[in-house]
Amino acid sequence: MAITEPQLRRPATVGGSSTAGGLPGAGGHPQARILTDRCAGCQECVVRCPTGALSMDPVLWVAQADNTACVGCRQCMRTCPFSAITVDGPCLVERRAATLDGHSAIVLGAVAETRQGFSSLEEALAEAARCLHCPDPTCVRGCPAHNDIPGFVAALRRGDLAGAHEVLRATTVMPDVCARVCNQAAQCEGACTWSLAGGEPVSIGRLERFVADNAPVPPPAATREGGGPGSGLRVAVVGSGPAGAGAAWVLVESGARVTVYEKDTTPGGLCDWGIPDFTLPVRVAQRPWDQLVRAGVDLRCGTGVDAAQLDELLEAYDAVVLAHGAGEPLRLAVPGSNLEGVIDATTFLKGAKAALRPGGEVGGFLSSLGLPSQAAAPDGAGRTGVADAGPRVLVLGAGNTAMDVARTARRLGCRAVCVDWMDERYALVRPDEVAEARAEGVEVRFLRTVSTLEGDGSRVRVARLARTEQRQAGQRPKVLSGPPEEVEVDLVVMAMGYRLDAAFAQRLPGTPVRRTDAGVPDRHWLASGVLATPPAGKAAVGTLSLGREVALEAAMFPFRPRVWVAGDALTGPSTVVEAMAQGRRAAFAVLDARPRRPAAVHPRSDGTGKSAGEPGGDGRHAEQPLRALVCYESAGGRTARVAAELADRLRSEGMEATSLPLVKVTAEDLAATDLLVVGAWTEGMVVARVHPARAAVAWLQKLPRLAGKSAAVFCTYSVAPRGTLAEMTKLLEAKGANVLAAEAFGGHGSPGSAATASVHAFAGRLAEARGSLAYA
Amino acid sequence: MSLTTEGPAATDEAGDRQPQGGEEQPARAACSARPRPSAMGAVPVRLGRPTSDGMTRRFASSDPSPGLDLARRPVLARLMRDRRFQFLLVLPNQIVFWTVIFVGLLGTAVPGLNFGTAITWYVWFCLVFVMMVVVGRAWCSMCPFGGFAEWVQRRALFRRTQKALGLGLKFPEPLARLGFLIPVGSFVLLTWIEEFFNIAGPGNPADTSFMVIGIVLSALVFFLVFERRTFCRYVCPLTTLIGTVGSMGSVAGFRTRDREICLACTTKDCMRGSENGYGCPWYTWPGSADSNLYCGLCTECFKSCPEGNIGLFLQKPLTSVVAPARRRADVAWGVALLWGLVLYQQFNATNVFNTIDTKLNSVLGFPHYPDPVDYLGLIVAGALTLAGAAFVVGRLFGTGAVPARAGKASFIDRTTPFRSFFVPMAYGLIPVVGADYFARQLPKFFHTSPRVLPAAAHIFGFASTRTALYSTSLLGNNGIVVTQVIVIAVGTLAALWSMWRVAGRDLVPVSRSAAGVRLASLAFVAACGAGAAILYVLMHAAN
């Protein structure tokens, strides 16, 4: 345990009234009870208990609880594999300090931040003291970037703000942005152990904001001259949104030369134009880019890259990270949708943002939209609350973008109505956003959809709304028949969301990546208890988080050789933090793969007599040993022995080789390997229905894109391998791998036998094939 | 767009300029320490250290010898790694028992010629018993009742699926705390039903079908309501018998090969399941199993362990009776009640019993044998006799000291002066109880087991009651009695050995006189064995 002060290990307040959560039997002290019949003494609860309340009975070899130390966080309950422990009673956690998000009436033209952070260190420390510093922190799994939350909170508790920021910086490049725009309830705070126990989570977002706003933020530590791991690499990053920023930061810190192409005139992407200043002030949104440019990133604003130019980029750069986002607004095709006065959210938000900033022309913006220009004075005297009069703006959609549009419209002096055809219970909007919007006078109407828009001549004037019905989450709402409701409108803003740019999506088959995982949940996630069904009324944060992991892993694998994709471009519309995390992941994958563009690989007659970096196959530096991963599915142990032997042999051929059973191979292992060797035993009825072991087939089918990665297959057999190797080869090639060799090993090999000799020969062939592999 | 002009030109130049001479050395050095994405994306886990204090001593007596690991044999390992392994074990039994159901309902009403009756009551129970004594829960690994329900629950015959069918509830904790008491109750109930309807008697073959259907259905209901093999562990009528008598068996079950690896494992795939296998359906962890009591031999842990750290171990006979460091009260009461039940089954073949039963029925107005009052009364009396004997031994020799430990509130692990004698002594008696159940089946087996062949043939229209095999008896009544007495004698000898070991480890430390308590406990075993043997002589091979 990293924390020693007992008062920190255990929140102080005990008592029914001040404890959080409507748990059964709230009040009194938590009681952990062990069902000794079923407790197998595996100590999963013991090693995860944050307070050390659990220990082992040496005779029965079952867990025993010291209830005086128990705080009722129920991690033991969630992590016990046999559900042999129950905890009753309240969560002994102090209530959060009262929320500061009280909304006063908004002011015309005001863009002050609506959400506030902690105002003093004392407040922050009081909140930090509620953190249990869980040994297997579920909040970290809930955080899409996997920030070390207990780590930074512990540093904060020591009063070490710089240290806390350093902890955050290890996994995020924009804690200040994320702290403001993240939906913590569906991420870290939703996965906080208190939250999973039905209590009130630690205000992680606000603590992060306190650290990010109050600690000095050093610029990226560029190591270009010093020669970091990326030194010598030229990488193009397309897009300067959060994914681009994440990738550029990691790359520039590693010493790579980074060029960022941004089609807008200012960097930041969605953070710049998509999030209003009252949520994300411009100084915060621009901070990463100011620092990145200072660190040497070549930022080329106003330079869009379209899909057709990808090949040009690949000629000029060693690697390309596509982080161009999902910027194509969805449009509702209803009669009248092409009338004047029907615009999309991007246009509205971009224009309003410029208009509301100092020096902006609110009146001019409004009249450009065909609205009467209001007497909105951004920083003049005579500020008034927004009256319930003014132009009527109908926002189609009630998602987060729609809320931003409507709230901005309120600040421009308009009346705003949002309509969405989903049921509020299942809507994808943040509940707190809806509440804030409503507090600001936005009318949000769910279960409605626009059936027609009508105008007088060319200008939209009336919207007809139909009622809809949605019976369960995820179901497509049904439009009900009935007399339409008429709403008079002056402006219609379509804010139903975005999708991928079609031209890019076509060139990157497989995007958008779906963030659901149908397979067996990752073992470590399962063990942490984050996937446990939360108390009623809470989102299944663990499942959501595990889905996010799918996209994070997808960002590590190039879509084509030397092309990585991250952010909304990879997943479709998603969140800032996910995009940032994927950008970082993609950048690390670039650094790991160290690809080389053809121009840099082939020696040039420039008189030095030396080619750039002396590349080996794939343009890799020749001095870098190739990394081989020999993974196997073994039943009787023979395949495992062959794999170990092969790895051993590949090592003596100068590679970094490891052998792992299939179940232990992680996406990181796969992404980092240069040569993937897959081995399986041969399953079947002697000679009939012979095929690779089922588990191996399933594993191969679930592989990510391998985009030209070198691979090899082998199998072990007793009678005849028949089509085993061909099937494995086919499966690997279907994933885009370049299968160099295939070999079947028969007989019961023991060291020194003929089988060993054939393993050695196979290794030799592999090393030769991989070594002589020309750049593909 | 400036890509075609300044972009590539600039990059090419830089590409040529950049890696030069000595400047590159540090870059290369750094390359070998490349950042790994895994290091960046990993969740910082700061798990506490699992304790292994006293672990070696705790498991020393029950850990099997590494040399007896059957899973080291590649052929067997490959078989067990195959997901179809258990399916192929269950399938033949599944076929047999669906045949039993259909033939019982639709076939001949002559019990001896009906395959359903013949296979179930003449052969099956004896085979199950032999498997128990040799292997342990071998039957559980191939049981068609749980097997069928498990297929439904998993929505698969053998594949590893993720979504279970049914509610997946946990068995209510107050009931789970009773351990083997509920299954003993269901065994007593089932036996009573069987006696009342004279199902095994042999009565109407359709009754056998109804009984099998009842078991299949109740298993199905439990599998659909609760998670894993809750039915098998907490409800199944046979589980106490197979568990306790099976602990005489020579298969230790699936155990860890290296306990340190298990302790260091932070994912416990054997309990939670992995891609290749389900989490243990029996709620057993190979890392802490100290007997084969709850190992259903289903091979799931073997399949799911990513470390290959699980073996299938053999052990010396009776090891799981004498070795476990943890003695469970539910096992002890289970053995005592099973003892009561088998005594009842012996006693009910005597004339004295008939008189009592008839008299009770006429008083209570109960239609016919067996009267529930004398049925339950005798079972409880049998169990209490055991408990009483242990109480007396405790009073005579006990120091009254009670070892302090966890689980104080739990029925299974609570310690009292009485329990510190009763529980170990019940364990020591297991071989006698087992032998008694076996001996009780012998008359039926010897007299009627050959009927299985004509009964099987009868399904296809061959054979009749006139077929020679129908009336062939493998052994005469005198021979049967002698065999029964021999079986009891062997069981008693085994129990004497077990009790000697159990007494030495568990009774002597809480007794004032080591020799006295040993002698008393051995006398107790001998008395039980002698009592059973005498009853068999009195029964004279009655069914």
Test the A interface: residue of B5, B17, B24, B181 with most A CBs within 10 Å: B24
Is A279 in the same domain as A409? no
Pairwise CA distance, residues B459 & B379, whole Å: 39
Is B213 in the same domain as B342? no
At A19 the pLDDT is 39
At A105 the pLDDT is 59
Range of the domain at A411: 342-379+386-499
B48 in reach of chain A (CB within 8 A): yes
User: Does the bond joining B50 to the residue before it have cis omega, within 30 degrees of 0?
Assistant: no
Is A371 in the same domain as A483? yes
Is B297 in the same domain as B309? yes
Is B97 in the same domain as B237? yes
pLDDT at B406 over 60: no
**Residue B69 lies inside a defined structural domain of this protein:** yes
Smallest Cβ–Cβ distance between B30 and the set A228, A585, A613 belongs to A228
Is A271 in the same domain as A148? no
**Residue B22 lies inside a defined structural domain of this protein:** no
Q: What is the pLDDT of residues A290-346, one digit of tens each?
A: 988 988 889 898 888 888 888 888 888 889 999 988 888 888 888 888 888 888 888
For β-strands A415-420 and A443-446, DSSP reports them as parallel
Is B286 in the same domain as B429? no
A114-128, A211-225, B101-115, B526-540: least confident range: A211-225
pLDDT at A618 over 70: no
A368-382, A396-410, A561-575, B299-313: least confident range: A368-382
**Residue A333 lies inside a defined structural domain of this protein:** no
**Residue A170 lies inside a defined structural domain of this protein:** yes
Chain A residue whose CA is closest to B27: A227
Backbone torsion region of residue A676, taken as left when φ is above 0, otherwise alpha when ψ lies between -120 and 50, otherwise beta? beta
Q: What is the CATH number of the domain that holds A159?
A: 1.10.1060.10
Q: What is the CATH number of the domain that holds A707?
A: 3.40.50.360
Instruction: Indicate the residue among B297, B325, B353 that finishes a domain.
Output: B325
Residues on chain B touching A231 (C-beta within 8 angstroms): 18, 27, 30
Q: What is the CATH number of the domain that holds A12?
A: 3.30.70.20
Is B426 in the same domain as B499? yes
Residue keyed to tokens 């003695």: B327
Is A767 in the same domain as A658? yes
In 3D, which of B118, B128, B107 has the Cα closest to residue B201?
B118
pLDDT at A223 over 70: no
**Residue B55 lies inside a defined structural domain of this protein:** no
Pairwise CA distance, residues B533 & A428, whole Å: 75
Does the distance separating the beta carbons of B16 and A606 come in below 8 Å? yes
Instruction: Indicate the residue among B293, B310, B325 that finishes a domain.
Output: B325
Angle at which helices A161-169 and A149-157 pack, to 10 degrees? 170
A202 CA: distance to closest CA in chain B (Å): 18
B260 in reach of chain A (CB within 8 A): no
Is A648 in the same domain as A570? no
Is A288 in the same domain as A354? no
**Residue B302 lies inside a defined structural domain of this protein:** yes
Is B348 in the same domain as B360? yes
Instruction: Indicate the residue among A450, A479, A499 that finishes a domain.
Output: A499
**Residue A602 lies inside a defined structural domain of this protein:** no
Does the distance separating the beta carbons of B50 and A637 come in below 8 Å? no
Which helix (H) or strand (E) segment holds residue A389: the answer is: none
pLDDT at B396 over 80: yes
Smallest Cβ–Cβ distance between B41 and the set A59, A83, A552 belongs to A552
Return the exposure string of A53-90: e unless at least 16 CB atoms fall within 10 Å of the residue's CB, then b: bbbbbbbbbbbbbeeebbbbbbbbbbbbbbbbbbbbbb
pLDDT band for A686, please (50, 70, 90 cuts). Answer: low
Smallest Cβ–Cβ distance between A695 and the set B7, B276, B284 belongs to B276
**Residue A33 lies inside a defined structural domain of this protein:** yes
Provide the edge-to-edge strand list for the sheet that holds A415-420: A342-344, A491-494, A392-396, A415-420, A443-446
At B39 the pLDDT is 43
Burial of residue B492 (CB within 10 Å: 0-12, 13-18, 19+) is buried
pLDDT at A565 over 70: yes
**Residue B45 lies inside a defined structural domain of this protein:** no
pLDDT at A520 over 90: no
Pairwise CA distance, residues B32 & B477, whole Å: 84
Which helix (H) or strand (E) segment holds residue B74: the answer is: helix B74-81
How many domains does the structure of chain B reveal? 2
Backbone torsion region of residue A587, taken as left when φ is above 0, otherwise alpha when ψ lies between -120 and 50, otherwise beta? alpha
Q: What is the pLDDT of residues A371-419, one digit of tens each?
A: 876 544 444 434 444 556 778 899 988 888 888 899 888 888 888 899 9
Chain B residue whose CA is closest to A223: B27
**Residue B51 lies inside a defined structural domain of this protein:** no
In 3D, which of A667, A582, A665, A223 has the Cα closest to residue B31?
A223
Is A304 in the same domain as A430? no
| Average pLDDT of the residues in B286-298 | 92
Is B342 in the same domain as B431? yes
B505 in reach of chain A (CB within 8 A): no
**Residue A94 lies inside a defined structural domain of this protein:** no
At B315 the pLDDT is 92
Return the exposure string of B223-240: e unless at least 16 CB atoms fall within 10 Å of the residue's CB, then b: bbebbbbbbbbbbbbbbb
pLDDT at A540 over 90: no
A628 in Cβ contact with A657 (< 8 Å): yes
**Residue A372 lies inside a defined structural domain of this protein:** yes
Is A643 in the same domain as A758? yes
pLDDT at A257 over 60: yes
**Residue B387 lies inside a defined structural domain of this protein:** yes
Does the distance separating the beta carbons of B275 and A695 come in below 8 Å? yes
Does the distance separating the beta carbons of A36 and B51 come in below 8 Å? no
Average pLDDT, chain B: 84
Which helix (H) or strand (E) segment holds residue A320: the answer is: strand A319-322
Average pLDDT, chain A: 81
Chain B residue whose CA is closest to A625: B32
Q: What is the pLDDT of residues A162-206, one digit of tens each?
A: 999 989 988 888 998 999 888 888 889 888 999 888 888 899 999
Q: What is the CATH number of the domain that holds A395?
A: 3.50.50.60
**Residue A766 lies inside a defined structural domain of this protein:** yes
At A525 the pLDDT is 85
B345 CA: distance to closest CA in chain A (Å): 30
pLDDT at A751 over 80: no
A vs B: CB pairs below 8 A:
283
Q: What is the pLDDT of residues B408-462, one digit of tens each?
A: 668 888 888 888 899 999 999 999 999 999 998 888 888 888 888 888 888 887 8
- DSSP code per residue over A673-717: -SEEEEEEEEEEETTEEEEE-HHHHHHHHT----TT-EEEEEEE-
| Average pLDDT of the residues in B60-77 | 88
Residues on chain A touching B413 (C-beta within 8 angstroms): 36, 60, 62
**Residue A534 lies inside a defined structural domain of this protein:** no
Test the B interface: residue of A153, A249, A311, A523 with most B CBs within 10 Å: A523
B143 in Cβ contact with B297 (< 8 Å): no
pLDDT at A569 over 60: yes
How far, in whole angstroms, is CA A300 from its chain's centroid? Answer: 26
Residues on chain A touching B262 (C-beta within 8 angstroms): 42
At B157 the pLDDT is 92
Instruction: Indicate the residue among B281, B301, B325 that finishes a domain.
Output: B325
Eight-class DSSP state of A520 = P
At A437 the pLDDT is 87
Range of the domain at B76: 62-325
Residues on chain A touching B412 (C-beta within 8 angstroms): 36-37
B 426-465 residues with CB < 8 A to A: none
Q: Strand (E) positions, B127-286?
A: 251-256
Q: How many CA atoms lie within 13 A of A199 on its CB side?
A: 29
- What residues does A486 pair with on adjacent strands? A464
pLDDT at B35 over 60: no
Q: What is the pLDDT of residues B319-366, one digit of tens each?
A: 999 999 888 999 999 999 999 999 998 888 777 888 888 888 888 888
Is A141 in the same domain as A31? no
Is B192 in the same domain as B276? yes
Does the distance separating the beta carbons of B32 and A585 come in below 8 Å? no
B43 in Cβ contact with B257 (< 8 Å): no
Does the distance separating the beta carbons of A150 and B31 come in below 8 Å? no
Smallest Cβ–Cβ distance between B326 and the set A34, A59, A635 belongs to A59
Pairwise CA distance, residues A754 & A758, whole Å: 6
H helix intervals, A369-420: 400-411
How many domains does the structure of chain A reveal? 5
Does the distance separating the beta carbons of A315 and B16 come in below 8 Å? no
Q: What are the CA-CA distances from residue A400 to residues A167, A183, A405 (Å)?
A: 30, 10, 9
pLDDT at B70 over 80: yes
Chain B residue whose CA is closest to A58: B54
Test the B interface: residue of A33, A46, A54, A82 with most B CBs within 10 Å: A82
Residues on chain B touching A84 (C-beta within 8 angstroms): 283
Residues on chain B touching A518 (C-beta within 8 angstroms): 162
Does the distance separating the beta carbons of B47 and A58 come in below 8 Å? no
Is A320 in the same domain as A351? no
Smallest Cβ–Cβ distance between A151 and the set B15, B44, B58 belongs to B44
Which helix (H) or strand (E) segment holds residue A298: the answer is: strand A298-301
Q: What is the pLDDT of residues B482-507, one digit of tens each?
A: 999 999 999 999 999 999 999 999 88
At A456 the pLDDT is 83
Eight-class DSSP state of A477 = P
Instruction: Indicate the residue among A214, A249, A284 that finishes a domain.
Output: A214
Is A399 in the same domain as A484? yes
| Average pLDDT of the residues in A455-471 | 86
Residue keyed to tokens 């290990």: A9
**Residue B391 lies inside a defined structural domain of this protein:** yes
Is B502 in the same domain as B393? yes
Is B230 in the same domain as B366? no
H helix intervals, B282-399: 300-304, 319-322, 329-347, 351-364, 372-397
In 3D, which of A451, A690, A533 has the Cα closest to residue A197?
A533
Is B286 in the same domain as B422? no
Instruction: Indicate the residue among A472, A499, A526 that finishes a domain.
Output: A499
Smallest Cβ–Cβ distance between A140 and the set B44, B266, B268 belongs to B44
Is B379 in the same domain as B471? yes
At B13 the pLDDT is 31
Is A365 in the same domain as A480? yes
Smallest Cβ–Cβ distance between A663 and the set B15, B27, B275 belongs to B275
- DSSP code per residue over A94-153: PPPPPP--PPPPPBTT----SS---SSHHHHHHHHTT----SS-HHHHHSTT---HHHHH
